[in-house]
Structure 1
């Protein structure tokens, strides 16, 4: 069931989510020519991402994001991201479980903290959703 742009809810047998992510990405590439990363997350993983995000208590849901990652980056990669981002903008960053938590403070549209910038520093692909969208997706689960 489509939920919003880029989000799909579906049921599948439990198993290797990494293989499913690869399969979905290959279908997108082969069918539509879209080179993308597919983040497969359970309802529990989405709830965990919201709960572990340190910016949800005091940030605005539309500015606080979870950047879901294809893999768990090494702590040194996160340290490099912080160092390279120093002085580039007001964003607050925190590592998560296969995720990067971001408070864009003034909005993501004009931020210099882009997906490409994050991907190069962390060494893995990702896709971001704001907390408001994630909460709406969670509500759609049966």
Structure 2
């Protein structure tokens, strides 16, 4: 049965990896995806398909490399998974213990990392910075507190330490994506 998905693509319109969202949408349409809509210019593509999302991801990554000439990671999620990445993020909400929607991120992961690797990262970083981390289901919750640009926890560092690929979206972006999926 066909379902609405979002592909959260990494490394889109960052550095030299510049593409027009219309070109990305056209490529997906030509590949057989239906009802393709892009959200913002950062590699968020909503579409309808009836395949298992984990089978879609490697195909999207290959198609982007073939069409645009660079590697990207693709994390395909349902509306329910996006909603959970918002609702279950322990740093999102109201009150003084919660971060701002701009600084609080959900980092979508290619697979569930080993708990020991996450625990080691959290323990090590506790003495290095003000960021807060927690693990969900194929998602790492991260409150950057003072900003992404001043943090040592870059996507490359997280991928190397957790041994999984990932791409991050802040709460503002996720709410926007979810509103277009519903």
Asked if Structure 1 and Structure 2 have the same fold, meaning a TM-score greater than 0.5 normalized by the shorter chain, the answer is: yes
The answer on 1:11 being equivalent to 2:48 is: yes
SS at match of 2:113: coil
The alpha-carbon deviation at position 74 of structure 1 amounts to 1.5
> Could you say which structure has the larger radius of gyration?
2
Give the structure 2 partner of residue 134 of structure 1.
174
The CA distance in 2 between the partners of 1:96 and 1:24, in whole Å, is: 24
Contact 1:39 1:127 in 2 (8 A): yes
Cα root mean square deviation, aligned: 1.1
The CA distance in 2 between the partners of 1:25 and 1:69, in whole Å, is: 14
SS at match of 2:134: strand
TM-score w.r.t. the length of structure 1 is 0.94
The CA distance in 2 between the partners of 1:141 and 1:109, in whole Å, is: 29
Deviations 1:79-116 (CA, angstroms, capped at 9, x unpaired): 12223423332100000110100000011122111001
Contact 1:66 1:101 in 2 (8 A): yes
TM-score w.r.t. the length of structure 2 is 0.74
Task: Give the number of aligned pairs.
Answer: 141
Give the structure 2 partner of residue 78 of structure 1.
118
Matches for 1:101-140 after TM superposition, within 5 Å? 101-140=141-180
Runs of 4+ more than 3 Å apart: none
The alpha-carbon deviation at position 123 of structure 1 amounts to 0.6
Give the structure 2 partner of residue 54 of structure 1.
90
Contact 1:2 1:9 in 2 (8 A): yes
Higher strand share: 2
Contact 1:63 1:105 in 2 (8 A): yes
Unaligned residue ranges in structure 2 (runs of 5+) = 1-36
Contact 1:80 1:121 in 2 (8 A): no
The CA distance in 1 between the partners of 2:121 and 2:58, in whole Å, is: 25
The answer on 1:45 being equivalent to 2:85 is: no
